[in-house]
Amino acid sequence: MDNKVNQISYIFIYLVYSSVFVFLNNYFPILFLDVLDVNRILLAFMQLLAYSILLLRPAFAAITDRYRINGYQRKYYIIVSGYLLAIFYILMGFTFNNIIIFGLLLFFIFLLITMLDVSTKSLIIDTSPSKERQKKAFFFIAVGQSLGKSLPMFLYIVLMNDIYSINSWRIFFFYSYLLLIPLMSILPFISEMKQRESQFIEDCDNFAFSHSDDTENNPNFKTIIVLLCIFVFFAFSDIIFAYPFFPFLLSKFGSNKFNLFNFFLIFYFLISIMSSAIGTFFIKRIRPKKIILILIPIIGSIYILYVFVDFIFFIFLYFIGSSLGIITNLNISVFIMKFGKGNKSIYFHLIASFKNLSFFIFLPLGTLLSNFISTEYIIIIGAVLLSLCIIPLIFIKL
């Protein structure tokens, strides 16, 4: 039932999903910190408020597991959250000069983006009874994420004539609305089998039975879950330097080299696809845990080198680090995907919620710290925090 329309919809959903994060975490920081010079402490508080909604991911998963809309388990959650996300994002583009309104809109955007992500991945778990189909679905997600990270860079290069002109920023955000059109067009056609209550319960039981393995029967199951949650929490702690990172690059290299860097980022799509293919190749031959243990220290070392290298070497390191990060994230997804089995999707979303907890704590903390220390130190802190995820991973026996 995971048909072609659904596969295409995964691309457009995560194109918008990733694009929103690129605009919020890459370009809004330049607008707020270098152009509008907003109060960073107030901005960090607004981020803390908005990212708090990400902590409700398990609750959203439980809601979509328990309650259906018009007989469908996931479909209308995806449609409603997708359209409302587009509306609130458009409103944000018109009100970014008011930090209070921005914070409130950011809160609702994260509420909707979390529901969209949870519902989509739950739909994949529901409709992909084999690991091969799950991997295929996650490939389409990876394609959408890659496009979503590349297209905003293209818009920036083409449209941003004067980085200190508010009018240039308005034009930039106006054209970013074009990225919403494919998603808005395909959402009504998402496919899902309409089920009666008894039929749904029976299917869930069959799904759990057909996917049964020994993870839940493992006497150390609760310990494994705790270690996985700690691992995921630190695996994404490098988000601490995400917000001040682009302003740091603009200051370090100047506007001309920064624009050149954005031009190179247009090709991020190709690197992402190749990295996803390489990651999939490794997954079939090497245990995900082993790949993660090898790559995390390398990525942390690359982060530290960001602080010291010149522009040309930085470009090289950035794309190597990004490629390794994509391979690592793919392996993390596969590593925790088995906990989508049994009890429907709740274990998977519980573990995945610790990624959101990491965002909730470390992204506002990075914004706050940038008011007191230089971004170079924040990058080094992020590298150290990332390396800590290795400790719980070592003790996970899977």
SS3 content of the chain, % helix, strand, coil (to 5): 80, 0, 15
Joined tokens for residue 281: 């190749």
DSSP 377-393: HHHHHHHHHHHTTHHHH
| CA–CA distance, 94 with 102 (Å, rounded to integer) | 10
Nearest Cα to Cα of residue 184 among 85, 110, 115 = 85
Give the list of residues 6+ apart from residue 294 with CB closer than 8 angstroms, or none: none
Residue whose structure tokens are 């690592």? 328
Q: Phi and psi of 69, rounded to 5°? A: -120, 115
Give the chain's end-to-end CA distance (angstroms, integer).
Answer: 30
Joined tokens for residue 295: 């790559």
The model's confidence at residue 214, banded by pLDDT at 50, 70 and 90, is very low
Yes or no: say if 144 and 15 are a contact pair by the CB < 8 Å rule: yes
For residue 24, the one-letter residue type is: L
Nearest Cα to Cα of residue 156 among 323, 26, 297 = 26
Nearest Cα to Cα of residue 1 among 65, 78, 74 = 74
Would you say residue 61 has pLDDT above 50?
yes
Yes or no: say if 22 and 262 are a contact pair by the CB < 8 Å rule: no
Give the list of residues 6+ apart from residue 1 with CB closer than 8 angstroms, or none: 127, 191, 192, 193
Yes or no: say if 367 and 47 are a contact pair by the CB < 8 Å rule: yes
Topology given in CATH for the domain delimited by 4-200+218-394: Growth Hormone; Chain: A; (1.20.1250)
- The pLDDT, as a whole number, for residue 213 is 47
pLDDT in tens, 275-328: 877 777 777 777 888 889 999 999 999 999 999 999 999 999 999 998 898 888
Nearest Cα to Cα of residue 124 among 142, 136, 114 = 136
Nearest Cα to Cα of residue 105 among 116, 94, 92 = 92
Kindly report the average pLDDT of the chain as a whole number. 83
Nearest Cα to Cα of residue 206 among 331, 315, 388, 341 = 341
Would you say residue 55 has pLDDT above 90?
no
| CA–CA distance, 234 with 231 (Å, rounded to integer) | 6
Among 156-160, 217-221, 255-259, the minimum mean pLDDT is found in 217-221
288-306 helix and 311-337 helix, angle to the nearest 10 degrees: 150
- The pTM of this model reads 0.76
- The pLDDT, as a whole number, for residue 141 is 85
- The pLDDT, as a whole number, for residue 136 is 76
pLDDT in tens, 126-153: 776 666 677 678 778 878 888 888 888 8
Among 88-92, 161-165, 333-337, the minimum mean pLDDT is found in 333-337
pLDDT in tens, 67-126: 887 767 788 899 999 999 999 999 988 888 888 898 899 999 989 998 998 888 888 877
- The pLDDT, as a whole number, for residue 218 is 57
- The pLDDT, as a whole number, for residue 13 is 93
H or E segment to which residue 10 belongs: helix 4-22
Give the list of residues 6+ apart from residue 133 with CB closer than 8 angstroms, or none: 2, 127
Among 15-19, 146-150, 314-318, 360-364, the minimum mean pLDDT is found in 146-150
- The pLDDT, as a whole number, for residue 338 is 64
- The pLDDT, as a whole number, for residue 86 is 93
